[in-house]
Homo-oligomer: A and B are copies of this chain.
Amino acid sequence: MEHLQPLLGCWTGEGEGEYPTIEPFRYGEEVRFWHSGKPFLAYSQRTWSLDDGRPLHAETGYWRASGARQVEVVLAHPTGIVEIDEGVVSDGVIDLHSTFVGCTTTAKAVTQLSRRFVLGGHDAASEGTAGTLSYTLSMAAAGLPLQHHLAATLHR
């Protein structure tokens, strides 16, 4: 799982969200990746309002090394969503596309997600020490097609 090692650690930063159904917003974020010696990374994420610090979103789950460059991500969201993403890691860029999104009875329906992560300063010499993790996330929800929702830049 060498291709997932550069993710390890705690990342913090800020991001911006938008969607046709809501007002644009800015948020603070903390992302943690850690491992237990098995071929996956545990993952948790939380965001908060930059206005008053109140908690916004959260996610938790696992990133599985399913091949030399492949990754499978399984996530649970407290909004009542479970998500499976699959994708490829290439030159510090991780492109993930949902293969399944499931919702509880009372959840607001999300039907599709795409996530792109970019490790800044990532090259053969600095593997594991990249200092920046940026991502964008697109979402299909509320009956709307897949479109941009979130962008953030985090620092180790």
Q: Across the interface, do A84 and B104 meet the contact criterion of CB distance under 8 Å?
A: yes
A135 at the interface (CB under 8 A from B): no
Question: Which single member of B46, B75, B76, B105 contacts A99 (CB below 8 Å)?
Answer: B105
Task: Report the bound CA distance from A10 to B55 in whole Å.
Answer: 22
**Contact segment of A11-19, A23-31, A56-64, A139-147:** A56-64
A130 at the interface (CB under 8 A from B): no
Nearest chain B CB to A101 CB, angstrom units: 9
Q: Across the interface, do B42 and A78 meet the contact criterion of CB distance under 8 Å?
A: yes
Nearest chain B CB to A23 CB, angstrom units: 20
Q: Across the interface, do A84 and B86 meet the contact criterion of CB distance under 8 Å?
A: no
Task: Report the bound CA distance from A94 to B108 in whole Å.
Answer: 24
A131 at the interface (CB under 8 A from B): no
Give per-residue flags for A76-96: 1 if the beta carbon is below 8 A from chain B beta carbons, else 0.
111011111010000000000
Q: Across the interface, do A72 and B104 meet the contact criterion of CB distance under 8 Å?
A: yes
Max chain B Cβ within 10 angstroms of own Cβ: one of A55, A74, A78, A86: A74
Max chain B Cβ within 10 angstroms of own Cβ: one of A42, A60, A64, A86: A60
Task: Report the bound CA distance from A21 to B108 in whole Å.
Answer: 38
Question: Which single member of B62, B102, B106 contacts A77 (CB below 8 Å)?
Answer: B62
